[in-house]
Each structure stands twice: as structure tokens, then as C-alpha cells.
Structure 1
């Protein structure tokens, strides 16, 4: 059987698939990631994961293709990846001493048909001092992470509580993804 095609350049998603002994190749999607204003976070991740998977599947018609997208949301406001230190500081300050949601959408393209789902997890942060936030920003970790933090890295220090699937926060709800792959006949 052909390997799974992962339509994502995320090292975290690759790491999770390797952990589960899934045979896959990476082909990063070039799909448009713009979204309409006021889209619900759940709809955003489903839409983006679908776009990514379908764009790559057009190049690999005889493969299973997996696309995924993750957003951090607070009161339905989507926090993207910060581009500047100021943006990172503002995001992390907003998340301080609050509970926010992390949504990851997953789309599997099988025989040209897209099958999507999403998972959501609540994450509560400790109260963060300005100095803690500034020290974290100096690590460079916030700049390629939705919401400006990585739970699998130094950002774990901020997390007081999590309700839901840890791997959803990491970028791929691996248990549900594996079950979906099995359901569609991919050997896992």
C-alpha cells in the first residue's frame, strides 16, 4: 500500500505519526489559508484542514492524504501565529489567568472524498508575569505556534489545567486520527 501523505510541514504532526508507526511522507500544502471574518474556530480548522488535504490529494490521487490545522481561540477570537515580539506578548498576556480553547481540524482524503472532523480542548493558564512572558519570547518558541505557545515545549510552564485531548493542543488528535485511518482501511 502507498504511504500516507501528510499535507503539513509541522514537525509535531510528523513526530506523532512516527510515534504511532504510521508509514507516511510529507508534502506541505500550498493552499490558501485566508479565512472570512468572524468564522467560528471549529469551522476554521475544518475548512483549512480540508483545503490543505484536497490541494495535496490532487497530486496524489492513489494515496490517503491527511491535512490538519490548529487554532487557539479565546471567546471565539482566533489567535494566529505571532509575527512580532509585541504580537506574541499581547497574545500571551490575553491568555494569562484564563481558559482558552484549542481546536484541531483533521481531513482525510480517501479515493477523492474528503472526511473531516475536529477536536477541541480547554487549556487554562496560570497568571503570567510580564517578565515570564518576555523570557519565553526570547526563546523564539512563540513564532511558529498558534496562540504564541507550544504545550510540548517551554510553553508547558504556563499550563495550569487541560480538559480534553493533549494531542489536540499539540496539533493532531492522534487517537481519533488513527481510528479514522483504520476505519477507511489504512493499515495502522
Structure 2
């Protein structure tokens, strides 16, 4: 597979880097601190897309012949957005609220160049079994999921023992809907077979 232009990934996430590497596409990582604030009027999918697009805006002046990929993953319990927990207590409350029910993981993705921007999202429904206090404590203590929306990583211990099933893309929950991204890159003429 060839690229029509150089690919940049604006993400500090090792999971996103790993997923993009697994796609077999060469890319360079660019990282900037971007505030992840969003207007209170936005709802679920709009939040994920807004944040992905907002991250892309921070790089707009630097783009030359590059294609930039930015993404943001949020966890939603009903209409409530569970961001990254600030501490153990917040992580515990989040996992307790996710226990024994289902939630949605929504990843917004923005593909941009200096002449266009394509924004989309993917949603995956995740079903957790009833988690015990000991399981939640063990996970938070040993895996320190404070850098993860919803206080968990599906690819970690809690995903292995706690997730009964999902509806949608597994990779979307990890942090990047690679199938949708790949399809978009082909449609935009960036990936060439």
C-alpha cells in the first residue's frame, strides 16, 4: 500500500500508534498539548467529533503536503460523559457505575490537510458484568487507568474479566476505529493500492 502524501498522527496514545502501525501505513507522530474543553450544549457524538476537529485546528498552520489524523474517545453512560478520572475515587465511581450494565464508546476522528477536513465517528456498545469491589480495586491499583476515558482499557485485565460482549468495533474501544479510518483514507485518495 502506498500513500499519496505523508501521514501524521497527532496523538500521545500508545494504543493509537500501535493500531495505525498495524494498518501497515507509515506515519510520523506530532504531539501538542491541546485543551480538551467543549461547549456544554454538545451531545455525545458531537463532543467526540468536536474534540477531534479541535485537536486538528492546533496543527493547521503547520500542515504542508501532510495528512493529519486526530482522534478523541469518550465513554457515555446514557447521556453522561465519563472523561478521564482525576484520582482513584473518581475511577472507582466510574467503574462502579459501568458495572452490570452497558455503555457506549464513541471515537471522533478528523482527517485534515491544508485544504480539507473530514470528521466522522464510530460508536461501540460495551456490556460489563457485575464487577465486585475487589475486582475494581485490583484493577485501579494495578493498572492505574487515570489516563483513560471511563477509567478502563478494554485490552487490559478488566476487559478480559469484565466485558461480556460488545456490539461494534473492538478497535474503536481501544481508541481508533481503524476500519472506518482506512475506508476514509481510501475514499479521500490518501491510501492507494
Larger RCO: 1 or 2 (CA < 8 Å, sep 6+): 2
Bin for the TM-score computed over the shorter chain: over 0.9
| Number of residue-to-residue matches in the alignment | 188
Q: Which runs of 5+ in 1 are unaligned?
A: none
1:166 equivalent to 2:164? Answer no
Could you tell me which residue of structure 2 aligns to residue 6 of structure 1?
Answer: 9
What is the CA–CA distance in structure 1 between the aligned matches of 2:142 and 2:62, rounded to whole Å? 37
Q: TM-score, normalised by structure 1?
A: 0.95
What does 1:71-90 correspond to in 2, within 5 Å? 71-90=74-93
1:175 equivalent to 2:156? Answer no
Query: Is the 1:57–1:63 Cα contact (8 Å) retained in structure 2?
Result: no
| Per-residue CA distance 1:134-154 (angstroms, 9 max, x = gap) | 000111341111000000112
Instruction: Judge which range, 55-64 or 6-15, deviates more.
Output: 55-64
Instruction: Judge which range, 149-158 or 98-107, deviates more.
Output: 149-158
Look up the SS of the partner of 1:91 in the other structure.
Answer: helix
CA-CA distance at 1:90 after TM superposition: 0.2
Task: Name which of 13, 18, 22 aligns with 1:15.
Answer: 18
89 and 142 in structure 1: CA distance in 2 versus 1, 3 angstrom threshold: same
CA-CA distance at 1:35 after TM superposition: 1.6
Q: TM-score, normalised by structure 2?
A: 0.92
What is the CA–CA distance in structure 1 between the aligned matches of 2:5 and 2:189, rounded to whole Å? 12
| Per-residue CA distance 1:59-99 (angstroms, 9 max, x = gap) | 12320000100000001100011121000000000000010
Look up the SS of the partner of 1:83 in the other structure.
Answer: coil
What does 1:27-42 correspond to in 2, within 5 Å? 27-42=30-45
Could you tell me which residue of structure 2 aligns to residue 124 of structure 1?
Answer: 127
Query: Is the 2:63–2:114 Cα contact (8 Å) retained in structure 1?
Result: no
Look up the SS of the partner of 1:104 in the other structure.
Answer: strand
| Per-residue CA distance 1:112-166 (angstroms, 9 max, x = gap) | 3111000101001000011110000111341111000000112212111100111
CA-CA distance at 1:2 after TM superposition: 4.2
